[in-house]
Structures are given as C-alpha cells and as structure tokens.
Amino acid sequence: MPRSKKPGPVTARRYIIQGRVQGVGYRYFAEGVAEEVGVAGWARNLDDGSVEIYAVGTAEQLSALAGYLWRGPRGADVRAVQELEALVQELSDFRIEYFS
C-alpha cells in the first residue's frame, strides 16, 4: 500500500484580481476552486471593482489556486492577479464575504 504524502507547511496569500471580475460569478468560482484544491479562506468584492481573495494552504495548493484565479469563470476578463504574503489565520473552510 502506498504511503500518503505528508502535506507541506501551511502559508497564506492575499490575491487582488483586476479586470471584469464583479457581476460574473467570480467569487463563487473562487469558492468552488478553493474547495477543489483544498484551501480555506474567503473572497469578497472591493469598492474599486476588483475581487480580493485570502487563502490558507500549502505552497502547492496556493500555486494551483493562483492558476485558476488567472482563468476565472466564463464571462470574466482577468487583467491582473496581484499576489501578496499574508499572516496565517486558522480557518476551516472557504466562504464568500459580503460588506454590510
């Protein structure tokens, strides 16, 4: 029986996605992709029309997520994905956040 691979150390990233990314289901797309690659975090719209994503996972998981973020859902036109280091927060799932 093959041994399961141990996950690497956990790290966190913030992504700022620019382009036509609001009103096209981008946050829901990010939520589905995050669940698929196994990262926790959140996605929210920003006032300037961009989307911010915070994600916690291994370097491999975050790299996979970043590749999907560049693609986006049908209808999106991703022009830039800024990746920033972030402090690790203890989160158990990925969710969409809304401003109140």
Instruction: Tell me which residues are annotated as active site.
Output: 27, 45
> Which residue(s) pair with 12 in the sheet?
56, 86
What CA–CA distance (Å, rounded) separates 10 from 5?
15
Residues near 10 by beta carbon (within 8 Å), at least 6 away in sequence: 56, 57, 58, 88
Residue 60 φ/ψ region, left for φ over 0, alpha for ψ in the -120 to 50 degree band, beta for the rest: alpha
